[in-house]
Amino acid sequence: MSTAEAALGAESAPVELRIESTSGKLRFNFRELWAYRELLGFLVWRDIQVRYKQTALGVFWAVLQPVLAMLVFTVFFGRLAQMPSDGIPYPVFSYTGLLPWQLFIYAVTQSGNSLVANQQLVKKVYFPRLLIPASAVLAGLVDFFIAFVILLGLMGFYGIVPTRAVVTLPLFLALAVGTALAVGFWLSALNVRYRDVRYTIPFLTQFWLFVTPIAYPSTLVPEKWRLLYGLNPMAGVVEGFRWALLGKQGPPDPLIFVSAAVVAVIGVGGLIYFRKMERTFADEV
Amino acid sequence: MSADWRIRTEGLGKRYRIGRPEPYRNFRDALVELAAAPLRRLRGKRPEPNWIWALKGVSLEVPAGQVLGVIGRNGAGKTTLLKILSRITEPTEGVARVRGRLGSLLEVGTGFHPELTGRENIFLNGAILGMRRSEIRKKFDPIVAFSGVEPFIDTPVKRYSSGMFVRLAFAVAAHLEPEILLVDEVLAVGDAAFQKKCLGKMEQVARSGRTVLFVSHNLGAVEHLCDRVAWMDGGRLRGLGDPTEMIGRYLEAVTDGSLESRGTGPFQVERVLLQNEAGETTTTFRPGEGLTLWIDYRVEGSHPAPYLWLSIGGRGGEIFSANMALDGNRPEVLTGSGRIGCRFPEVPLLPQSYHITLCVREADGRRALFEPQEVAAFHVIGALRDYGLKDEKADVRAAGSVPLLLPYEWILPNGRRAPVRLGSGGRPISTEAGR
């Protein structure tokens, strides 16, 4: 048809894309991920927009969930069971643990189901699939920041002033998000092939809650087992939050470093598994 | 061919595993499989994977600025080809190369969220289709204007009628301006007026010098819009060339039942017969002659009270139809194999080429047992003078006219009445008055 236009195209020498089977190959295209950052922003924005649509309490839910949990914990574990709390008022102690925990379970639940929930997208349009679980995780941050305001209030009420360690808080938030992403990559990719994941997630998070030092201090775990305890990355996250915010004396607990290493391993493994499965998402979901 | 190609595929193939009864597997099955596999291997019985090649050995080239139509039965591999080119799924073998920014439209409204407003969905959908935020902002007003849903732009789209939804979705898609555009059947949505608007937009895109791959069952549109046509059957490329010739060859194969692809739904067309008034099997008819269509079918399962819809189309689109959704007739049940027919006592069509599209849907209309696609083609042949149209250039002019000619009557200034009618039942007319 139009040869003039064709000449124009040749002039600008378009980039050539090669499409072939990547079976047996593993490639990460970080430049492409970067190119799609705007779409990631839109997906996060969508998840946030939609989250509290048509609810009576709206964004109040973001506060209600951790606050109610904190009250129950305070009454049953703090008062009745006389659970130690490292000398910190129990409500602040438990709420500081609940904050990253709520972020984590929300992010894991949403990202675990994200590929299946967005299967229309997966089947009809191309973009790096990693954006889907990632956006589900990042959308949870909004709730986190809202609930964080309550913590500031609680700390003010009990007269707790954070030490300089508070500047490390973003690192522990990053560790929490990293943990959620790492688990989310695994679960979302597994969920495409095995819908059992949907039923596994509630069980998994419940089980995980008990092995994470939210209602109790990690010092309850005998010294020789503490590094092993760090294999639960959320133990490191919660410990880190308390260390950064509540000004516990001394250097951070070494179990935090074990947790960070574990997150790195699960995360890299999750990325590799996700990439491997990504080739067949559209065919299998 | 051309050195300046935009899309080029070499031996492209895609293999799927079929015959898996459950939609997805669970851990238990995987464990059982894991345990059973070595046992099976011991007994020398390899698991028999049921593979099907949805696409096989497809090599083609689309030069810059060309509009390539892709036609063929459902299940012929058209959509698989588009999915590979748009990187939704990977090929099993072969290579495809694409030069330039590619946009694909496999459906309209991908990623629309019912809870979000029209405005929000324009941004979301635009981003999903690959537009930048700044680009969407720039095109926002034209998109809203094109969609015609302006008063509702801040209403959640779940409150939209399905027509409004489709119009907005298409409006976003229509403003996607990639160098290479892949389009799959998006024109098959909406009402007739909207379809016309879509076709107009498609034409605009096609004439703008962009490279387009256009998959459609609207053969009229394909012939009108495309520079070349690829005809696919059974996952392979059966032909590539001039649109009129390819469509002709395809329709011939459709009618004589030599296609490999049988369609993808539970309703399968085994054979199609066209008969004239005398009961002879033929694909050529005289102007005005009656036509009976017989479809030998085979159905999986049992489907109570489905409805059929047949439409006769020509180069310009659909002309008339027989539609059970309007007339209220239903076969009691469709099951096993059988034959269903439809007789048009008079087909007042001018000498041109036509095709018949069939669609079968379940009683509630939700599921298609047979997605709309062409099942037969026929030609109307005859010197119009013999059938009542007496202008000496009638035959030449008829080729480019609106094909349907209903009986009518001129009332001339002197009061004379001049009835016009294509020979009744296809019988040549000898008297001046017609009948």
Lowest mean pLDDT among A170-174, B3-7, B185-189: B185-189
- How close, in Å, is residue B404 to chain A by CA atoms? 31
Q: Any residues with CB less than 8 A from the CB of A28 and at least 6 apart, and which?
A: A271, A275
**Full strand arrangement of the beta sheet holding B333-344:** B267-275, B291-304, B333-344
CA distance B365 to A94: 55
pLDDT above 80 for B49? no
Which residues in chain B touch residue A37, judged by CB atoms under 8 angstroms apart? none
pLDDT above 60 for B268? yes
Which residues in chain A touch residue B209, judged by CB atoms under 8 angstroms apart? 1-2, 4-6, 8
Last residue within a domain, chosen from B233, B251, B269: B251
| Residue ranges, chain A, pLDDT below 70 | 1-14, 248-250
Indicate the average pLDDT of chain B. 85
Cβ pairs bridging A and B (under 8 Å): 139
Helices (H) and strands (E) in chain A, counts: 13, 1
The pLDDT tens digits of the residues spanning B401-410 come to 899 999 999 9
Find the CB nearest B4 among A10, A121, A283.
A10
Lowest mean pLDDT among A177-191, A246-260, B89-103, B177-191: B177-191
The pLDDT value given to residue B33? 65
CA distance A45 to B143: 21
Length, in residues, of chain B: 435
Q: Is the dihedral of CA A239, A241, A246, A247 positive or negative?
A: positive
pLDDT above 70 for B19? no
B12 or A22: which carries more pLDDT confidence? B12
**Contact A1/B at CB under 8 A:** yes
Same domain, B115 and B176: yes
CATH label of the domain that carries residue B170: 3.40.50.300
CA distance B373 to B132: 36
Domain annotation covers residue B24:
no
Q: Which of A20, A27, A114, A195 to mutate to test the interface with B (most CBs of B within 10 A)?
A: A20
Domain annotation covers residue A179:
yes
**Contact A22/B at CB under 8 A:** yes
**Contact A49/B at CB under 8 A:** yes
CB spacing of A126 vs B66 below 8 angstroms: no
Same domain, B74 and B99: yes
**Contact A11/B at CB under 8 A:** no
Tell me which amino acid residue B355 is.
H
Same domain, B245 and B369: no
Which residues in chain A touch residue B65, judged by CB atoms under 8 angstroms apart? 1-3, 5-6, 9
The count of structural domains within chain A is: 1
Domain annotation covers residue B390:
yes
DSSP conformation letters of A12-51: T-PPEEEEE--TT-----HHHHHHTHHHHHHHHHHHHHHH
- How close, in Å, is residue B406 to chain A by CA atoms? 37
CB spacing of A120 vs B111 below 8 angstroms: yes
Same domain, B190 and B302: no
Domain annotation covers residue A89:
yes
Q: Which of B7, B87, B104 to mutate to test the interface with A (most CBs of A within 10 A)?
A: B87
The count of structural domains within chain B is: 2
By C-alpha distance, the chain B residue nearest A5 is B209
CB spacing of A49 vs B88 below 8 angstroms: no
By C-alpha distance, the chain B residue nearest A122 is B88
CB spacing of A1 vs B83 below 8 angstroms: no
Last residue within a domain, chosen from B251, B278, B299: B251
Find the CB nearest A19 among B25, B85, B106.
B85
- How close, in Å, is residue B79 to chain A by CA atoms? 11
Lowest mean pLDDT among A159-163, B38-42, B86-90: B38-42
CB spacing of B95 vs A14 below 8 angstroms: no
3-class SS of residue A250: coil
pLDDT above 60 for B20? no
pLDDT above 50 for B189? yes
Same domain, B87 and B226: yes
Q: Any residues with CB less than 8 A from the CB of B339 and at least 6 apart, and which?
A: B294, B295, B296, B297
CB spacing of B86 vs A127 below 8 angstroms: no
CA distance B151 to B382: 53
Whether residue B255 contacts residue B283, with contact meaning beta carbons closer than 8 Å, is answered with yes
Last residue within a domain, chosen from B251, B276, B297: B251
Domain annotation covers residue A170:
yes
Which residues in chain A touch residue B92, judged by CB atoms under 8 angstroms apart? 21
- The terminus-to-terminus CA distance of chain A in angstroms comes to 40
Q: What number is the average pLDDT over the span B19-31?
A: 57
Whether residue B310 contacts residue B322, with contact meaning beta carbons closer than 8 Å, is answered with yes
A63: containing domain:
29-199+218-284
Residue B241: pLDDT band with limits 50, 70, 90: very high
Tokens of B250: 């395809």
Q: How many CB atoms sit inside 10 A of residue A284's CB?
A: 16
Q: Which letter, b or e, does each residue of A106-140 get, where b requires 16 or more Cβ atoms within 10 Å of its Cβ?
A: bbbbbbbbbbbbbbebbbbbbbbbbbbbbbbbbbb
The pLDDT value given to residue B254? 82
- Could you tell me the CA-to-CA distances from B187 to A116, B113, B191, B292 in Å, in that order? 28, 21, 10, 29
Q: How many CB atoms sit inside 10 A of residue B378's CB?
A: 22
The pLDDT value given to residue A10? 40
The pLDDT tens digits of the residues spanning B125-143 come to 999 988 889 999 999 999 9
Domain annotation covers residue A59:
yes
The pLDDT value given to residue B42? 59
Find the CB nearest B65 among A6, A38, A123.
A6
- Which residues 125-154 of chain A have a CB within 8 Å of chain B? 125-127
Residue B428: pLDDT band with limits 50, 70, 90: confident
CA B270 to chain centre: 19
Q: How many CB atoms sit inside 10 A of residue B170's CB?
A: 25
Find the CB nearest A14 among B85, B100, B107.
B100
By C-alpha distance, the chain B residue nearest A281 is B89
Whether residue B23 contacts residue B56, with contact meaning beta carbons closer than 8 Å, is answered with no
- How close, in Å, is residue B417 to chain A by CA atoms? 49
- With pLDDT > 70 as the criterion, what percentage of chain B qualifies? 89
- Could you tell me the CA-to-CA distances from A48 to A66, A72, B153 in Å, in that order? 18, 28, 20
**Contact A34/B at CB under 8 A:** no
Same domain, B246 and B343: no
**Contact A282/B at CB under 8 A:** yes
Tokens of B295: 């479809």
CA angle A249, A253, A257 (to 5 degrees): 145
The pLDDT tens digits of the residues spanning A217-270 come to 888 888 888 888 889 999 999 999 999 998 766 677 788 899 999 999 999 999
Same domain, B199 and B229: yes
Based on C-alpha coordinates, what's the Rg of chain A?
Answer: 22
B172: containing domain:
53-251
Domain annotation covers residue B428:
yes
Lowest mean pLDDT among A122-126, B112-116, B262-266, B389-393: B262-266
Which residues in chain A touch residue B93, judged by CB atoms under 8 angstroms apart? 21
CATH label of the domain that carries residue B334: 2.70.50.60
Same domain, B228 and B114: yes
Q: What number is the average pLDDT over the span B269-278?
A: 88
